[in-house]
Amino acid sequence: MTAKATELKLDIERIGTVSAILTQPAHARACYVLAHGAGADMRHAFMAKVAVGLAERGIATFRFNFPYMEEKKGRPDQPAVAHAAIRAAVAEAARQCLGVRLIAGGKSFGGRMTSQAQSKAPLPGVKGLAFLGFPLHAAKKPSSERAEHLASIAIPMLFLQGTRDDLADLGHLKPVIAALGAKATLHEIEGGDHSFAVLKKSGRSNDEALAEVLDVLVAWIDQLA
């Protein structure tokens, strides 16, 4: 399925303007507002592969830079700034993709900032949140404090997590998801790290692991009411 990638500018009220990319296949069934991780921008190879892979499966993506990344600053934005960027992105995605189902979330930091924004005030029109590696804690410091805000979210959530993810010990994550009940779904990528890369001895490639991520994500999006 061919897709058109359109470069856009996203205005964030009282903060500034950042770059964005809408990757839109013909007759898209949904649009995923895809926020980047802390260390790499919207053009990172992982983000681009997700956008292309979802377009091949009939799902549009709206990628954008957080202001600190647009300005090439090292330290991520304060949560309030990140939340404002996400709200602007969701609003613009809704304008660009009229009438299609909206999903929000993203890679690591971007996913967590999206869930924080949703917990403070629902993102208009967003039907579910999907996390590509939820960063539950700092590397080798297992805890679940970063997940406390998830309890106040009412819409469905999908957690796609590698079993080797240093930022999400499954022994801590599984009880969090169990406590969230039916609104939360966990899918484990066997042998995947925080970016779903797998070891050579696993017998499959990184591209095959990412295809599993995208297939599960699309199936989840399609079953959202």
Chain segment 44-56, per-residue pLDDT in tens = 999 999 999 999 9
Residue (of 8, 25, 11) closest to 100 by Cα position: 25
- What does the alpha-carbon distance between residue 155 and residue 124 come to, in Å, rounded to a whole number? 12
pLDDT for 165: 94
Give residue 94's pLDDT band: very low, low, confident or very high (50, 70, 90).
very high
Residue 161, SS3 per DSSP: strand
Q: d(Cα 77, Cα 68) in Å, to the nearest integer?
A: 6
What's the whole-number mean pLDDT along residues 142-164? 94
Burial of 40 (0-12, 13-18, 19+ CB in 10 A): middle
| pTM recorded for the entire structure | 0.96
Q: What's the Cα-to-Cα distance from 78 to each of 9, 39, 52, 68, rounded to whole Å?
A: 21, 15, 30, 9
pLDDT at 140 over 90: no
Tokens of 123: 């993102």
Strand 59-64 versus strand 30-35 pairing type:
parallel
pLDDT tens digits, one per residue of 107-136: 999 999 999 999 999 999 999 999 999 999
Once rounded to an integer, what is the mean pLDDT over residues 191-207?
93
Confidence of residue 1 (pLDDT cuts 50, 70, 90): low
Q: CA 76 to CA 72: how far, in whole Å?
A: 10
- Closest alpha carbon to 55 in 20, 19, 31, 37: 31
Q: What is the DSSP letter of 74?
A: S
pLDDT of residue 143: 84
- The mean pLDDT of the chain is 95
Reported as a pLDDT band with limits 50, 70 and 90, residue 138 is confident
What does the pLDDT read at residue 206? 96
Q: Could you tell me which of 38, 48, 42 has the C-alpha nearest to residue 18?
A: 42
Residue 141 has a pLDDT of: 85
Buried residues in 92-110 as b, exposed as e (16+ CB within 10 A)? bbbebbeebbbbbbbbbbb
58 exposure class (CB count in 10 Å sphere: 0-12, 13-18, 19+): middle
pLDDT of residue 91: 98
Beta-strand runs (E) in the chain: 3-12, 16-25, 30-35, 59-64, 101-107, 126-132, 157-162, 184-189
Greater model confidence, 77 or 1: 77
Domains defined along the chain, listed by start: 3-223 (3.40.50.1820)
pLDDT tens-digit profile of 6-46?
Answer: 999 999 999 999 999 999 999 999 999 999 999 999 999 99
Residue 225 pLDDT class (50, 70, 90 cuts): low
Banded pLDDT at 144 (limits 50, 70, 90): confident
How high is the pLDDT of residue 2?
74
